[in-house]
Amino acid sequence: MNGFGIDLGTTRTVVCHPRHGIVLDVPSVMVVRTDTRTKRLTPLLAGHDARALIGRCPVGLATTRPLRDGVIVDLEAARAFIVRIVPQMAEHRWQRIRPRAVISVPAGSTALERRALLEAAGEAGIRRIRLVPAPIAGALGCGINPLEPRAHMVVDVGGGTAEITGFCFGGILAHRSCRVAGDEMTIAVDRYLRSEHHLIVGELTAESVKCDIASEWNSSLVAQGLDSCTGGLRLVTLSVAEVVDAIRPTVDTIIAALASCLDDLPPQAVNDILQEGVWTFGGATRLRGFDKLIEDAFGFPVRPAERPTTCVAEGAAACLLHGEVLDAFDADVVAEAV
Ligand SMILES: Nc1ncnc2c1ncn2[C@@H]1O[C@H](COP(=O)(O)OP(=O)(O)OP(=O)(O)O)[C@@H](O)[C@H]1O
Ligand SMILES: [Mg+2]
């Protein structure tokens, strides 16, 4: 089949083929050269190679992310990024001829933001595009049937946004989105290192400190950076507990959004969710102790997705075979591009 499910995320872009599985999983980052005279941007690299240059770009080059908070902010950059990833996801030349795609979008995206995505993907050569709300695609990827007459709730915490969505029988019951997610957690680590340890680190180091605390056996970790007083290189040993504490306010914001989303649900639906629990996915839900913090706050079970970073793309690919899901959620994300 000449079609793909695409999760174009703020941090990572994942593409899934309905039969071949995940065919692409790359950082949503590009390296561009700016023409000093015309100010025109020329894309040079996209994906892993581009991410490796974050914080170490030579003069004249810059790293850029085509999406912010799950939506396109720069149409030109987004088009250039999609143009670069299409050959990587479609191995054979014939697969690149007018490929079909189901692309996930944040459930809280505006019509204008969805139009920008359709335009960028259309200009990059993808045809017959349909959109699906990311929480619904993620739920499908977790094996949930969003058309059954039973309420479910999913918590998707990615790089740019945390989305909490309750749905039942092909419709959304309640939705909350906050622009506080994995990137904010990285910023919290960065700020903590500066203020408490006087250590200046790059974005990649702050992110790896955040991700390293997920490994159970690490009760302490080491961060390397510049001493903000002397300017010299310094190593700092950090305890897992202090890093978790630094990130805690970010998780509290997500917990508050979840509480407010639950408030909006009808009592019968709340009953279903209390019994089933909430499903969590998105890279930032891999943060050490994330599920436990939610369980402690609400008392219902938390079900982490088996494949938290790829289930949205898998669900989008499944939609290629289950048009009824797309039709059901059409009112939530309208439009089909030609
Ligand atoms: N083990 C880990 N512990 C903590 N955070 C992690 C871990 N692994 C990945 N992350 C974080 O997950 C985030 C990326 O998640 P994901 O790939 O789901 O985002 P996205 O889909 O691109 O973003 P969005 O959905 O907001 O557009 C990043 O902030 C990354 O640092
Ligand atoms: Mg995402």
Most informative mutation of 10, 11, 251 for ligand 1 (most atoms within 8 A of CB): 11
Residue 333 has a pLDDT of: 52
Does residue 338 surpass a pLDDT of 50? no
pTM: 0.95
Most informative mutation of 24, 73, 117, 211 for ligand 1 (most atoms within 8 A of CB): 211
* Residue recorded with tokens 């200009």: 123
Residue 216 has a pLDDT of: 60
Domains and CATH numbers, the chain: 3-28+65-137+311-337 (3.30.420.40), 145-304 (3.30.420.40)
pLDDT tens for each residue of 103-161: 999 998 888 889 999 999 998 889 889 999 999 999 999 999 999 999 999 999 999 99
Residue 214 has a pLDDT of: 79
3-class SS of residue 210 = helix
Residue 322: Cβ-neighbour burial (10 angstroms; 0-12, 13-18, 19+): middle
- With beta carbons less than 8 A apart as the criterion, state whether 11 and 51 touch: no
Binned at pLDDT 50, 70 and 90, residue 337 comes out as very low
Cα 122 to chain centroid distance, Å, stands at 22
| Cα–Cα dist 180/184, whole Å | 6
Asked whether 283 lines ligand 1 (CB < 6 A), one says yes
Residue 187 has a pLDDT of: 97
pLDDT tens for each residue of 265-288: 999 999 999 999 999 999 999 999
Distant-in-sequence, close-in-space partners of 17: CB < 8 Å, separation ≥ 6? 1, 3, 4, 5, 23, 89, 317
- With beta carbons less than 8 A apart as the criterion, state whether 269 and 173 touch: yes
